[in-house]
Amino acid sequence: MAKTVVLDFDGVIHSYTSGWKGIDSIPDPPVDGIKEAIGNIRKHYKVVVVSTRCFQEGGLEAVKAWLDKHDISVDEVLAHKPPAIVYVDDRAVTFDGDAKGLLHKIKTFRTWQNK
């Protein structure tokens, strides 16, 4: 079984520049270069897309339809993060072993769209 890489949908694949518009409203284009990056990653790993949209009715279908519309191929779309070798998420703080600095990282965190 191939090792898994998990990518968050909004802000990593869907550029999310318009912000939240609803479960099945996904108005923005892909992040520049993400289609090619996913294609390259899939040569070595299973690629799973996760989205909190998938927790609500119509969300899973909306994400899959958007991926199809933009001709982005992935191996699976899920609501929950499965075990993986790495998670790619625009709203994540990497823990570097410094527990004392964690609160500061959380308080000063900004997504790439807001930097």
**Tens of pLDDT along 98-115?**
999 999 999 999 999 887
37: Cβ contacts below 8 Å, ≥ 6 apart = none
Nearest to 63 by CA among 54, 72, 74: 54
Distance, C-alpha 3 to centroid of its chain: 17
pLDDT level of residue 40 (50, 70, 90 thresholds) = very high
pLDDT digits (tens, 9 = 90+) for 3-35: 999 999 999 999 999 989 999 999 999 999 999
Average pLDDT over residues 32-49: 98
Burial class from Cβ neighbours inside 10 Å (0-12, 13-18, 19+) for residue 38 reads: buried
pLDDT level of residue 1 (50, 70, 90 thresholds) = low
| pTM of the predicted protein model | 0.91
pLDDT, position 114: 83
Nearest to 74 by CA among 49, 105, 96: 49
Average pLDDT over residues 91-101: 93
pLDDT, position 115: 78
Tokens linked to 26: 């996904």
